[in-house]
């Protein structure tokens, strides 16, 4: 099946000889009508036009049409007759995530389409639901992305969609396959949704554990005092609450320099904001630029440095574990280094907390693009237990978070397996490799 991404001839030679009896390989336009929606018209041109709801590409989801944000524009009577939606229409993204497809189930009584959507309607009694699964398959294996125009922006025009090949079983078989896949995929999706909910619960548990540890510590019996901050409430009486700059030194990285300016400069690895992930640095794409000896001395990373995103997802933080022998930082990163023996990992957990409760996003500059400057980062307050207690809290949190991460890894792997099974099941059904009977449709899963 991988040859489907090459061309129609190779698809035919690969599949036609293997098709079940009475199955055909043909172009979509022979059994379905494709209609492109209307160009955006925000103002009325004549009195016969009425303002109506319309769908755009952003409303389309594989799991169904999202009508949480449906807008209106003006349509003439002829346009309404041509572009109205009816139950069972397929809505296929012409632009954006090209080929993303929704099945219309009359979510709105009167609704039309913009020209970012192709409407696909069955001729005779062919099943658009079967075609939906075919489009799902060829989107997943990369065929649709391979055929769209990419001169400027990718577009799956009505003409291209018309010419997409599909395997056509007899009409009753189409409906039987669609019914079986609806039932089976719904069960798979329900299981996936349950596991995704488990991931959400684990994520909430992680945040709760970190919140309690860095604001109250590990001893529930300690005397508390008012922190003076409404959202923080009370903290242990023997803890301090003070600005980061009193215990840590913050250094902003270097502006990008792609070319050598002086003989003494050398080309070195550097980290940018895209490399910063929570807890560790992503080194799958580490680039190089030029640094002078003075810059290298000032910006070289050391074990346990904190790397805090200055731009992009501001405040996202990594712990540097010497993943590279010599590595430096661009000016999209603030490096945080302890003055004495305060724990950068404890500060990491504090930054994780205030990022996820929205505090960091609230303080960054948004005149143009959000930036967490070194000056703003220095002035952020944090809870400061005694150093020994900081270390105990870090040991406790590392253990708990590692336990949660292991469970998340197992659940994520299970979700991936279920998604792969769904894709394989669809592949087998719409290509005839798996024969679907009425008993399959009516029987227990």
Per residue in 5-55, pLDDT tens?
A: 445 545 544 555 578 989 999 999 999 999 999 999 999 999 999 999 999
CA 303 to CA 288: how far, in whole Å? 20
Asked if residue 127 has pLDDT above 70, the reply is: yes
For range 68-84, the mean pLDDT: 96
What's residue 90's pLDDT?
Answer: 98
Order of all β-strands in the sheet with 328-329? 287-291, 266-271, 328-329
Asked if residue 187 has pLDDT above 80, the reply is: yes
Phi, psi of 92 (to 5 degrees): -120, 125
- 363 pLDDT band (50/70/90 cuts)? confident
Q: What angle do CA 360, 276, 240 make, to 5 degrees?
A: 45
Asked if residue 1 has pLDDT above 60, the reply is: no
Distances (CA, A) of 343 to 97, 276, 391, 424: 45, 19, 7, 49
Asked if residue 293 has pLDDT above 60, the reply is: yes
What's residue 148's pLDDT?
Answer: 83
pLDDT digit string (tens) for 319-359? 999 999 899 999 999 999 999 899 999 999 999 999 999 99
Distances (CA, A) of 258 to 262, 291, 297, 330: 12, 10, 19, 12
**Cβ of 336: how many Cβ atoms within 10 Å?**
25
pLDDT digit string (tens) for 377-406? 999 999 999 999 999 999 999 999 999 999
What's residue 147's pLDDT?
Answer: 85
What's residue 367's pLDDT?
Answer: 66
- 108 pLDDT band (50/70/90 cuts)? very high
- 364 pLDDT band (50/70/90 cuts)? confident
Phi, psi of 243 (to 5 degrees): -75, 150
DSSP, residue by residue, 120-154: EEESTT--HHHHHHHHHHHHHTTHHHHHSB-SSS-
What's residue 298's pLDDT?
Answer: 96
- 209 pLDDT band (50/70/90 cuts)? very high
What's residue 4's pLDDT?
Answer: 40
* Share above pLDDT 90 across residues of the chain, in percent, rounded to a whole number: 85
Between 146 and 118, the higher pLDDT residue:
118
What's residue 11's pLDDT?
Answer: 52
Q: Which residues contact 240 (CB under 8 A, 6 or more apart)?
A: 383, 384
What's residue 312's pLDDT?
Answer: 85
Could you please state the CATH topology (level 3) that the domain comprising 240-384 is classified under. Answer: Adenine-n6-DNA-methyltransferase TaqI; Chain A, domain 2 (3.90.220)
CA 25 to CA 31: how far, in whole Å? 11
**Residue corresponding to tokens 């554990």:** 209
What are 364-373's contacts with CB under 8 Å, separation 24+?
A: 364/314, 364/315, 369/311, 370/311, 370/314, 371/310, 371/311, 371/314, 372/308, 372/309, 372/310, 372/311, 372/314, 372/315, 372/334, 373/252, 373/310, 373/334
CA 295 to CA 328: how far, in whole Å? 9
Structure tokens at 348: 């990491």
Look up the CATH superfamily of 2-168.
DNA methylase specificity domains (3.90.220.20)
Q: What is the DSSP letter of 400?
A: H
Q: Is residue 97 classed exposed, middle or buried when 0-12, 13-18 and 19+ CB atoms within 10 A define those classes?
A: middle
- H or E stretch at 268: strand 266-271
Structure tokens at 80: 């309404």
Asked if residue 99 has pLDDT above 50, the reply is: yes
Asked if residue 244 has pLDDT above 80, the reply is: yes
CA 226 to CA 231: how far, in whole Å? 11
Q: What is the DSSP letter of 97?
A: S
Confidence (pTM): 0.83
For range 232-256, the mean pLDDT: 96
Q: Where in the chain is the domain with CATH 3.90.220.20?
A: 2-168, 240-384
Asked if residue 150 has pLDDT above 70, the reply is: no
- 57 pLDDT band (50/70/90 cuts)? very high
For range 46-71, the mean pLDDT: 96
CA 236 to CA 217: how far, in whole Å? 7
CA 319 to CA 298: how far, in whole Å? 18
**Residue corresponding to tokens 């996936």:** 192
């Amino acid at each position: 099946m991988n040859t489907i991404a090459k061309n129609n001839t190779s698809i035919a030679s690969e599949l036609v000889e293997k098709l079940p009896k009475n199955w055909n390989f043909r172009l979509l336009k022979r059994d379905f009508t494709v209609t492109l929606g209307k160009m955006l018209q925000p103002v009325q041109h004549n009195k016969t036009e009425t303002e109506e709801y319309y769908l755009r590409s952003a409303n389309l989801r594989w799991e169904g049409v999202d009508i949480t944000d449906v807008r209106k524009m003006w349509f003439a009577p002829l346009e309404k007759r041509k572009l109205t939606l009816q139950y069972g229409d397929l809505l296929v993204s012409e632009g954006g995530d090209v080929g993303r497809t929704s099945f219309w189930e009359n979510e709105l009584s009167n609704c039309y389409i913009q020209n970012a959507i192709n409407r696909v309607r069955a001729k005779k009694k062919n099943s658009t639901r079967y075609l939906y699964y075919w489009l799902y398959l060829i989107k997943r294996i990369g065929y649709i992305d391979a055929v769209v125009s990419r001169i400027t922006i990718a577009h799956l025009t009505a003409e291209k969609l018309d010419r997409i090949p599909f395997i056509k079983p007899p009409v009753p078989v189409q409906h039987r396959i669609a019914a079986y896949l609806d039932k089976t995929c719904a069960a798979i999706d329900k299981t996936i949704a349950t596991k995704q909910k488990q991931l959400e619960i684990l994520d909430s548990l992680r945040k709760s554990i970190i919140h309690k540890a860095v604001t109250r510590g590990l001893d529930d019996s300690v005397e508390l005092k008012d922190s003076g901050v409404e959202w923080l409430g009370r903290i242990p009486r023997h803890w301090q609450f003070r600005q980061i700059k009193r215990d840590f030194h913050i250094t902003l990285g270097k502006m990008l320099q792609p070319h050598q300016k002086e003989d003494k400069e050398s080309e070195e690895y550097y980290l940018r904001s895209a490399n910063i992930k929570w807890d560790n640095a992503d080194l799958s794409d580490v680039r190089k630029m030029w640094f002078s000896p003075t810059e290298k001395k000032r910006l070289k990373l050391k074990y346990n440095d904190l790397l805090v995103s200055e731009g992009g997802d501001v405040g996202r933080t990594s712990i540097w574990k010497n993943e590279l022998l010599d590595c430096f930082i661009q000016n999209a990163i603030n490096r945080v280094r302890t003055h004495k023996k305060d724990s950068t990992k404890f500060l990491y957990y504090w930054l994780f907390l205030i990022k996820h409760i929205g505090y960091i996003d609230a303080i960054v500059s948004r005149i143009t693009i959000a930036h967490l400057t070194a000056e703003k980062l220095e002035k952020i307050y944090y809870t400061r237990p005694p150093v020994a207690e900081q270390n105990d809290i870090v040991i406790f949190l590392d253990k708990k978070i590692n336990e949660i991460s292991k469970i998340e890894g197992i659940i994520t792997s299970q979700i991936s397996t279920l998604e792969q099974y769904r894709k394989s099941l669809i592949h087998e059904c719409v290509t005839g490799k798996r024969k679907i009977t009425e008993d399959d449709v009516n029987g227990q899963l």
